Structures are given as structure tokens and as C-alpha cells.
Structure 1
């Protein structure tokens, strides 16, 4: 792996709504951190270690990057990892296409499978994962990792594409959506008060006329039910994939031309351009105001004037 060195890249900031002025920095530049990957996904910031972990799905590995050491390999043969986050105890949670499972890395480095089936049948390919303040783990389970050999291997599906809620306390697994509500569940994010769940719908893999959207659900009954699905936003230029919410409720979404910032009312506030499409992103850095952007084979970052929504103990 290469020794860390940064490289500033030309970018542009497009203000669509005046509210975006307060969220971006006029003197912040887009920084290229590393490249040479195949398809980057699942970025997660470890604030207590000041490092970033990220999935390189086709290369079947998880990478680690920090300012002091640059890029290193965190794990080979990682099960074709996709979305990642941390649980409330600071452990790494990884969506594994290869194992068709949600994995957890214990503090001693041991990797355990939390869940790999529903009602006696294998999951599809867990894609993205978020953790609620009550410790429950929510993940999307679309078909994307089953339809080719590039991101896990062509295999048969036994389940509809849905969003699941897993409770580590009793190991119960509950389907939270129906196939009619979300055809291709992808990126997930809770609102700051956890009363709403944002869900990216990138449609079914075989849909010849996809209409990808970010949906919004109400979280009811103590977090055990979703209701009131409505269309929140349609990304203009490419599709939404990974999404994150900042501390004041704005949604930051990957897109075909960079990263888009969307207000809680669904209004596009502005865009930050990147040389190639962005597949996923996360907040990190010392103050939580650094956006890390997975842009195809390259990792970029840029500082913004808002902080990501993160659990204080893990920031």
C-alpha cells in the first residue's frame, strides 16, 4: 500500500438554496486521500482511533486510513463487505455479500455472524446498516450482490428485498417493510430524534425503467413499526446510494456528480462536485465536520460547516 500523501483536487460548490451557504466553507478544498481500489463502499469513522474503515467490495477487503499511517489493509477475505457502522459498544458491524450475513467484529478482533437467515432461509445480500439508540440494528437486504460475480457471486434469492430490524438482546429479526414499499432497499439513515427513517430505493436489479428515490418512514411503537411511507427526494444526476444525516437534520446523499445536501423538508440545498460519481459517504474527523466520499475507486474528503450525526461516545 502507498504511503499517505494528500492531493487537492479541483471542485465546485453549487448553491441551490441560500441555506447551503452556512453549511459549506469557502476555503475548504476537495482532497484525494487514496485511489487504486475497485469499488469503495461502507465508510465508517472510528473517532476514538482517528481512522476511517472502508469496504473495497470487488477486492474482498476492508481498508483502514488515517493521517499518520495512510492506507493499510484492515482485513483480507472480508466476505465481500458493503455497508458498515458501529454499534453502541463501538464494535464494527459489516454487511457481507459473500456470507449473506450481518457480521460483527468483537473488540478482540474475532468476527461473528449476527444473523444470516430469516424464517429458515438465507438472507439476500445485506447492503447498509444503522444502529438505533436502543441498540437495535437495522439493515437493508436487496438482491444486488446476488446478480453478478463482481460483488459476491451469482446465487439464488430466497427472500424478498426488505429492511430488517435485528435486536441483539433477544436475537429476534423482524421485516420492517414489504417488497411493494421499497423495491430495492439500499442506504439507511435515522433523523436526529429517530422518529423517521430515510430509505434509499434504487429499485430492483432487473427494472428496465427504474425510478430511484429516497423514501421517508415514520418510526412508531417504540421503534418496532414503520408507517407513513412517502417520497422524500429524487436525486437529479445519477442516483442516491449511501446517505448520512447531519446534526441539524440535513440529508447528505451520494449522487452521480458528487454529494448533494437536502433539507429536512426535501428541498435540495446544494451540491459539492467530485470528478466521478459518489457511491457512499460518512462524516468524521476530529470535530465530525469532515465528509469522506467513496468515489468509485478513489477516496476523497472535504470539510463542511456542519457536524455529522454520531453517537457522542464514538465520535
Structure 2
């Protein structure tokens, strides 16, 4: 099941919000998909829920005629067709093609996001005017700053449960000859103030590249890779994989040991047994 619908004439995409919600009912035959207008959110990619406000935060990759950036749907239940931009440029320069986003409630609801240049590589954006970096937007001061650089293609990102560690995937291996570029998950300490420190290699994907990334309540790090879902413990030791044909681009944890798993075209529901990790 696609979670994005594309207009063949324009390439414009819309988010299909109710797809995941209704899969949880368990009756696949009764799934209803409700398109929601995303005229402002051009080529939406990563998304996050702001638990404090109930708002949905999305990355917009943008196009050659419309800026990308970070957008918010303040009331996704009552008024899902209204979105507002949070930030669409950095010091007057357009972002490359924002990819993934997370919210840190212990840092005043700050919004952290990655900005690779996949839009340009795919012919959707002009040549980048900025390096491929990780950013932090502070809603209290309406300001944005770079928090990490030095990536080939920064992609997924996730905090641990204590918001003391930030994990960032680098998917540059997808563009390198013979896949010899990074397929790496990096870990950073979240320092006092809007800073990251102690960058280190946490893990390397067992197959393909690590795309979306999440951390469970036990500190295990999950990532979508070429073989499916890979799971590492806190020490960066690979402790298991859920094999998915075609690999996994992104995924999300849900109650009762449920994981919703997506590649480019399909959605799976995985139910885990044993102690809840989410």
C-alpha cells in the first residue's frame, strides 16, 4: 500500500494519513484512505509527532520552483489540510532537500532535521547552495543552526529515550561506485545547549544503506537497511534482523509490540512477542 499518492501530470504528492491508522484495526478489507492536501509541503518525506502539541512535523524536499523546509500541520485531526512553514531557508540560502525530522521535548520542543542533496541527484532540485548537514530549529527564538556536518548524505535521525544521544544515518553509499561510500550510523552526545559532541561510528549496515532509524526503550537501535530491519544493542553489536524483500526505507513503533514497516511501495505490520520494547 502506498502512503503517498502522485499526480502523474505534475509529480505532486499527497500524504495518505489514514492508511496506517486503519491498518491497526486488523481488517485489511475495510481500509479507507483519505488524501490530505499538502500543496505547501512539496515532496514530503520524513515526519514526526510533537507529543506536547499534537502537531505533525514534516520535511518538505521542495522542487525547482518551491522551497523545501520544515512544515507543521498544527491540528492533523480537526484540520489536516492546513499546514504552516517553520523554516524554509538557512541564512537566505534554500535547503537542499530536507529528509527526516525529530522533536526534542527536553530542549523546548526543538526540531532537528537532516538535509541531504537527494533532490538534486534525482533531478528535482537545483544544485545545492549548502553542504549536506544536520540542523536544529529553536521555536522559542525562531532560529536555526547547524549542529553536525561532514556527511556524504545525512538521512535518518533519532534520539534515544533519554534524549542524551542522537543517531544519524549516512546513506552516501547509495551514490558511490560499487557502494563503497558510507552506509553508516553515527552517534553523537547531546551536550548542554544546542550542541552535539563526541561523534563516533556506531554501526555499519549489514546490507545496503541504513535509512530510517529508531531507538527502543531498552536502548536498542533499529534501522531500515537493504535486507529489512536491522537491530543493534547499545554497544553497536548487531543482535538481529527482520528480513523484508526489497529492504526497508522507514518504519515506526506502535503499541503492543507492533512495528509498521515500509519500503518504497509496500507497508507491512510486524508483531513482536515477549517484553514490550516501545
**What TM-score bracket applies, with the shorter chain setting the length?**
0.7 to 0.9
2:217 aligned with 1:253, yes or no? no
Partner of 1:201: 170
Structure 2 contact 250–262 (Cα < 8 Å) conserved? yes
Q: Which runs of 5+ in 2 are unaligned?
A: none
Residue 211 (structure 1) aligned with residue 179 (structure 2): no
Whole-Å separation in 1 of the counterparts to 2:45 and 2:85: 15
Q: Which residue of 2 aligns with 1:22?
A: none
Q: Which stretches in structure 1 are left out of the alignment for 5+ residues?
A: 1-34, 38-53, 310-315
**What is the aligned partner in structure 2 of residue 226 from structure 1?**
196
Is 1:144 matched with 2:118?
A: yes
Q: Distance in 1 between matches of 2:174 and 2:119?
A: 10
How far, CA to CA, are the matches of 2:266 and 2:222 in structure 1?
19
Residue 100 of structure 2: aligned partner: 128
- TM-score, with structure 1 as normaliser: 0.74
1:283·1:308 contact (CA, 8 Å) conserved in 2?
no
**CA 1:56–1:258: 2 relative to 1, 3 Å:** farther
- Size of the aligned set, in residue pairs, is 250
Higher relative contact order (CA 8 A, sep 6+): 1
Equivalent pair of 1:261/1:269 in contact (CA under 8 Å): yes
**1: CA distance, partners of 2:132 / 2:174:** 11
- Residue-by-residue CA offset, 1:86-105 (whole Å, 9 max, x unaligned): 11311011101123111101
- Taking the aligned partners of 2:152 and 2:249, their CA distance within structure 1 comes to 19
Once the two structures are superposed, the pairs formed by residues 23-172 of structure 1 within 5 Å of their partners are: 35=1, 37=2, 54-55=3-4, 60-64=13-17, 65=19, 66-67=22-23, 70-76=31-37, 77=39, 78-87=41-50, 88-98=52-62, 99-107=67-75, 108-109=79-80, 110-133=82-105, 134=107, 135-149=109-123, 153-172=124-143
Normalised to the residue count of structure 2, the TM-score between the two structures is 0.84
Rounded Cα–Cα distance in structure 2 between residues aligned with 1:238 and 1:206:
11
CA RMSD, Structure 1 to Structure 2 (Å): 2.0
Contact in 1 for aligned 2:230/2:242 (Cα 8 Å): yes
Task: Confirm whether residue 189 of structure 1 aligns to residue 142 of structure 2.
Answer: no
Inter-partner Cα distance in structure 2 for 1:139 and 1:71: 31
Deviations 1:163-221 (A, max 9, x none): 0000111111010012x2x2211100111111110000112875433121000011101
1:288 to 1:126, Cα distance in 2 relative to 1, 3 A? farther
Q: 1:214 aligns to what SS in structure 2? A: strand
C-alpha displacement of 1:147: 1.8
Q: Is the 8 A contact 1:95 1:101 kept in 2?
A: yes
